[in-house]
Amino acid sequence: MSDKENKYTGRRLRSSYFTTIISISLVLFMLGILGLIILNAQQISNHVKENIGFSIILKDGIKEVEIAQIQKSLDAENFVKSTHFIHPDSAAAELQRELGEDFISFLGYNPLLPSIDVKLNADYANTDSLSVIEANLTENPKIKEVFYQKDLVSLINENVKKISFYLLAFSALLLTIAMALINNTIRLSIYSKRFLIKTMQLVGAKSSFIQKPFVLKGIGNGLVAAFLSIGLIVLFLYYLQQQMPEIIDFKNIELYGALFLIVIILGILISWISTMLAVRKYLRMEAGNLY
């Protein structure tokens, strides 16, 4: 074989190697992002639910001391994430901005009452809990009414359940597709060495001896691809943390460590099984069928 042909063959082998690594790492990156979504699904769900709240409309003429007492007692409750007192003047100014009209001058007085906005903890963000909370709060003679959008609360909880179901179904589908993509990538890389595999078999080499270097190289490729995908996931996590710090929290190192370990195991396991199956296919194939 001439030097030119040797260089050409070398370039093709290097190109095949890098193509295999990049293909596997991108598939593992997709699986890692899916795992990230699943691991953070509960936190995302809680973040959505904790934006659900209600307003406590206080009676006219209530004293500031009584307002402070009500707010303090609310802050001590398990169902409360946060509270915010809204003065009638602040509420009127906000409403004027939204309407674009000075309704106070027209009416001659401010009809709005003092109120306290309450944000709920995620476990209590459902219609059943809110009904009980509403009944208990309205027993207070200083509270006029408790206002919240019941239909919106029900809709959010229903959608969270639906999204969780679709996410699990999508996860199973994507895992199947990812395994098929990695398997096809590895089979294509083994395809170029099918004559070498058959030649080794014809000269008397055992199947285990022939498979060993291919399997070890496949495991190595899977490991390299796994670390490349982890690097991409870390960059993606850093970007998300800058955009959504309330959802992505780097304090839970064990969670992300488990995710990275799963990516490494998947990279090794899928590459190992796919390589072994691909080599066995050509070992069983008749020499004439290799062409």
pLDDT tens for 248-276 read 666 667 778 888 898 888 888 888 888 88
DSSP 68-132: HHHHHHHHTSTTEEEEEEE-HHHHHHHHHHHHTS-HHHHHSS--PPPEEEEEEPGGG-SHHHHHH
Distance CA 109, CA 290 (A): 92
**Nearest alpha-carbon partner for 147 in 121, 122, 123, 113:** 113
pLDDT per position as a tens digit, 87-114: 888 877 887 787 777 767 777 777 778 8
* Structure-block tokens of residue 127: 């219609």
pLDDT, residue 61, reads 81
- Which domains does the chain carry? 3-45+157-290 (no CATH), 53-147 (3.30.70.3040)
- Which residues are within 8 A (CB) of 45 and not within 5 positions of it... i.e. 6 or more apart? 122, 160, 164
Identify whether the C-beta of residue 91 lies closer than 8 Å to the C-beta of residue 112. yes
The reported pLDDT for the residue numbered 122 is 83
pLDDT of residue 211: 78
> Mean pLDDT, consecutive 10-residue segments, the chain of 291 residues?
46 60 81 78 74 84 87 89 86 78 72 86 83 87 84 75 76 74 71 72 75 82 88 85 68 78 87 80 64 55
> Which tokens is 41 given?
């699904």
> In this structure, what token pair is assigned to residue 50?
């904790």
Are 262 and 35 in contact by the 8 Å Cβ rule? The answer is yes
Q: pLDDT value at position 13?
A: 47
How much of the chain is in helix, strand and coil states, percent to nearest 5?
75, 10, 20
CB 74 within 8 A of CB 84: no
Please tell me the predicted confidence (pLDDT) of residue 120: 87
pLDDT of residue 291: 55
- Whether 54 contacts 130, CB under 8 Å: yes
